[in-house]
Structure 1
């Protein structure tokens, strides 16, 4: 099967290409700029295609002969829909590395169409949300009666430009939680609490992470909160600017903040990634007060995104072809998938 990495010249896309080549895979390198792609194509001896996503015909033509797309070009709030439509049109599996709740919801809404086209649609095939989704499914199997799920993570190394821009978009949307089965808007830094790491209490605040949507699909648990480890001052700042929510979501302010990110956020270096790890916590409880807890220790989130995403690619381009439809990582790969990835351990 011929397959493509779209956004191959981006921060995570470049890492994905390098590891794919190391594994003996030969993706088509794609994106909007031929000038940015051609040096990579020559370096690795891989074919290059340049096409925009804002024209449906161009996107369809760009996917001619492609059986799978690993979509790495964010912000996915703008790029997911046109790429997914093109994949549905040509019959190509759709994977991406988003963590955006609204993108998960949009992809899930295309489940019946994906079944008809017999393609897999699976957003969140990287750090967002492979480890957290697999941990949620693992805990659900430990406590099938669970009614409440709490997930949390603390990541080192700093964000990439794309992740930082997604965070900026989230400022104008506020927080999210799953309450009694419903997606519910809540204030920024709605709740705070601590999680134990090596005998030390780590402060965390609620964030609108993708699992608020996906973990319910994977487990059926109706109440879900996701936390991120931050300095207490970060939560205090977010609470102070809650009233600015509508202003922070305007196009002018969003454009200003994203341009600042482009100038000041290069993404973590290879050395910094190698020295940083990510801790993931999961807790479930049921109506009778029974609980189950587990922790994961993983490599830096960007390194895990690459190995997790390519493992899913290799499954889908192999002989075994799962039925078409929308999937979460644990639904497609099993709850133990994260434990097969390099450097991941269950505590």
Structure 2
């Protein structure tokens, strides 16, 4: 019997991870709510599937027989993390997911002490959110140990999956966030903007976004001031600032449902598009004296990196029998982890 369960296996990213896991010989149990979709996925791969929703704790518990590691790929994780994490803690199953949602990281971190007590690893963010950025932050902290300010930025081409797009819609209601003086602070949409330079010398405009590192990088490095940026056209940044007065509307149920329906209507990038669209990640740290260190890396498409990063972490967990508690990529796998993933290289 497999020791790994993938929940949300029939989603866009779940399918990519499932195929790669099967190719590695992991033989995961596929799980989710859609029986027909799971049957269509599991059958050709010769895998077992388990069909269950997340609205009843007893139902979830019955599905964990023989499972040691759960990889949750079902977003938005604001809905799926809590019931699955509770079940993992109750039944001593290590919890992993591919979230980038700040509030999910915070929820998981609050469960740290219970995870330690139960011997359950709690490891959200095993994919593009936030493996490359967290490792870059940790590498920079090694270079400048007394750094007190961190900037992270990325450019991700190829387009989002339906799940990522719907999660982004949820985030509009919260506006932006940054870490200031060690505290998470709500800031306006597109609070700050700046530029980053790519390997080819071209310059990209970018704006602050509520990326998961405003939570996780603080845990990993202890740095108190953290800003996270995404490269976007200047016109898009201007439009985001125009939307600031509409922020209260984005939290209304009918508006959220309409936006999510539109966001989820476009399929994620196919294999050819992913192959054509890599990512760049930038990091900068500064200390109180004004000393600076910078690091940039290029990676494959974020979904392809999510597959390789997540499965590398799964394999380590299955081998290592880890201690319980909350983990980040750099704390669990080491700051150099991202540099060993396929297609990743340092550019400065």
TM-based fold match above 0.5: yes
Q: Which residue in the other structure is 1:248 paired with?
A: 250
Q: Which residue in the other structure is 2:325 paired with?
A: 325
Contact 1:134 1:330 survives alignment (8 Å): yes
Q: Which residue in the other structure is 1:215 paired with?
A: 217
Q: Which residue in the other structure is 2:116 paired with?
A: 115
Contact 1:64 1:90 survives alignment (8 Å): no
CA–CA separation in structure 2 for the residues paired with 1:77 and 1:252: 18
Shift of 1:289: 0.6
Paired residue secondary structure (1:194): strand
Contact 1:282 1:294 survives alignment (8 Å): yes
- What does 1:1-347 correspond to in 2, within 5 Å? 2-197=3-198, 198-263=200-265, 265-318=266-319, 320-347=320-347
Shift of 1:40: 1.4
Contact 1:155 1:277 survives alignment (8 Å): yes
Q: Kindly report the root-mean-square deviation, in angstroms, between the aligned alpha carbons of the 2 structures.
A: 0.8
Shift of 1:25: 1.1
Shift of 1:104: 0.2
Stretches of structure 1 lacking an aligned partner (at least 5 in a row): none
Following superposition, which runs of at least 4 residues in structure 1 exceed 2 angstroms of deviation?
none
CA–CA separation in structure 2 for the residues paired with 1:137 and 1:261: 33
Contact 1:148 1:285 survives alignment (8 Å): yes
CA–CA separation in structure 1 for the residues paired with 2:55 and 2:66: 20
Per-residue CA deviations over 1:136-156 (Å, capped at 9, x if unaligned) read: 000000000100000000011
CA–CA separation in structure 2 for the residues paired with 1:2 and 1:166: 29
Query: Normalising by the residue count of structure 2, what TM-score does the alignment of the two structures yield?
Result: 0.98
CA–CA separation in structure 2 for the residues paired with 1:25 and 1:69: 13
Shift of 1:262: 2.7
Shift of 1:61: 1.1
Aligned residue pairs: how many?
A: 345
Contact 1:154 1:229 survives alignment (8 Å): yes
CA–CA separation in structure 2 for the residues paired with 1:190 and 1:10: 32
Paired residue secondary structure (1:166): helix
CA–CA separation in structure 2 for the residues paired with 1:216 and 1:62: 35
Contact 2:165 2:264 survives alignment (8 Å): no
Per-residue CA deviations over 1:82-140 (Å, capped at 9, x if unaligned) read: 11011111110000000000000000000001011101100000000000000000000
CA–CA separation in structure 2 for the residues paired with 1:238 and 1:290: 33
Stretches of structure 2 lacking an aligned partner (at least 5 in a row): none
